[in-house]
Amino acid sequence: MSGGKSPNPITRDKFDAVLFDLDGVLTATATVHAKCWKIMFDEYLQNLASRKGEPFQPFEIATDYRLYVDGKPRFDGVRDFLRSRGIELPEGTPDDSPHTETVCGLGNRKNELINAVLESDGVESYEGSVALIRQIRGEGIAVAVVTSSQNCDAVLKAAGIGDLFTVKVDGNVIHDQHLSGKPAPDGFLAAAKSLGVDPKRAVVVEDAISGVQAGRNGGFGLVIGVARKGDSEELRNHGADIVVKDLGELLD
């Protein structure tokens, strides 16, 4: 199912809550994140290649971002991508300078870049997503945000939609509670627990491969994939029960 008008599968008799990813599902920030990851990794990879006298292999958004970074906690994304290139760096600490050559330092450099973009350009929300949230809230279905981003509050505030969510499980919560990031289902399970909802009575909405995997791994009642990147089949193959191009397709 993708494109056109689809019957809304989220009904009060079947579900008590819907758990939404943030970037790419609620807000048009996924492409901005991808560009900032590329800037950060290309800076590092160019420097590394120059020091080693080797050819520079750039970070590719179409493959590297999608396979190793998208939807994951920041430092996991750094670690997994570097591992794909056979690069090992010291872990460092979350307080590392953005110019430190550690996993945490590179992750903080990416965060520095995204914060600059948020401040200068602001954030747009997807109209179809906001309309669907208002509709299901009106039917008595609870909603939550579950994201690996540690910028969740800033993004929701910039998009003007922070008041729509009673529960938020973001990268800070994941870190503080020592939860595993996507594709582990921990964040979604924590949100369901906060809402007092059985996972089988909850819906997960995601646009990343790691996110739909998390929904499937958590035994949630329904996993909806949002294919804004033309990746409908991949989302289905990794755990999405339904795939749409925009959540506005599900409006009654």
Spatial CA neighbour of 181 closest among 173, 106, 195:
173
- Tokens describing residue 102: 């550690």
Residue 10: inside a domain, yes or no? Answer: no
Residue 138 vs residues 60, 127, 224: alpha-carbon distances, Å: 42, 17, 20
Same domain, 108 and 152: no
| Each residue's pLDDT tens digit, 55-91 | 999 999 999 999 999 989 999 999 999 999 999 999 9
Gap between the terminal Cα atoms of the chain: 16
Active site residue 23: yes
Same domain, 74 and 109: yes
Active site residue 207: no
Domain boundary among 69, 91, 121: 121
Residue 221: inside a domain, yes or no? Answer: yes
**Residue 1 predicted with pLDDT over 70:** no
Residue 135: inside a domain, yes or no? Answer: yes
**Residue 4 predicted with pLDDT over 70:** no
Q: Which residue has the tokens 């009673």?
A: 166
- ∠ CA 17-33-134, rounded to 5°: 30
* CA count, 13 A, side-chain hemisphere, 61: 12
Same domain, 153 and 95: no
DSSP state of 180: P
Averaged pLDDT for residues 186-192: 98
What distance in Å separates the CA atoms of residue 221 and residue 200, rounded to the nearest whole number?
Answer: 4
Same domain, 107 and 157: no
- Catalytic position from the list 13, 16, 23, 231: 23
Burial (Cβ within 10 Å: 0-12, 13-18, ≥19) of residue 176: exposed
Domain limits for position 199: 17-28+124-250
Same domain, 138 and 230: yes
CB 96 within 8 A of CB 104: yes
Same domain, 144 and 91: no
Residue 39: inside a domain, yes or no? Answer: yes
What distance in Å separates the CA atoms of residue 175 and residue 51, rounded to the nearest whole number?
Answer: 34
Domain boundary among 89, 121, 153: 121
47: confidence class by pLDDT, cuts 50, 70, 90: very high
What distance in Å separates the CA atoms of residue 208 and residue 79, rounded to the nearest whole number?
Answer: 18
When divided into structural domains, the chain yields a total of 2
Residue 6: inside a domain, yes or no? Answer: no
- CA 146 distance to own-chain centroid: 8
For residue 218, the domain's CATH number is 3.40.50.1000
Residue 12: inside a domain, yes or no? Answer: no
Burial (Cβ within 10 Å: 0-12, 13-18, ≥19) of residue 42: middle
**Residue 7 predicted with pLDDT over 90:** no
Same domain, 171 and 89: no
**Residue 26 predicted with pLDDT over 60:** yes
20: confidence class by pLDDT, cuts 50, 70, 90: very high
| Each residue's pLDDT tens digit, 102-124 | 999 999 999 999 989 888 888 89
Residue 7: inside a domain, yes or no? Answer: no
Other CB atoms within 10 A of residue 138 CB: 8
- Catalytic position from the list 16, 21, 70, 231: 21
Same domain, 143 and 40: no
Same domain, 54 and 107: yes
Domain boundary among 121, 142, 170: 121
| Each residue's pLDDT tens digit, 27-46 | 998 888 999 999 999 999 99
Same domain, 81 and 44: yes
5: confidence class by pLDDT, cuts 50, 70, 90: low
DSSP state of 166: S
- Tokens describing residue 132: 């669907």
6: confidence class by pLDDT, cuts 50, 70, 90: low
| Each residue's pLDDT tens digit, 132-170 | 999 999 999 999 999 998 889 989 988 999 999 989 999
Question: Is-cis flag, bond preceding 7, omega within 30?
Answer: no
Same domain, 100 and 179: no
| DSSP class per residue in 183-243 | TSSHHHHHHHHHHT--GGGEEEEESSHHHHHHHHHTT-SEEEEE-TTS-HHHHHHTT-SEE
Same domain, 74 and 153: no
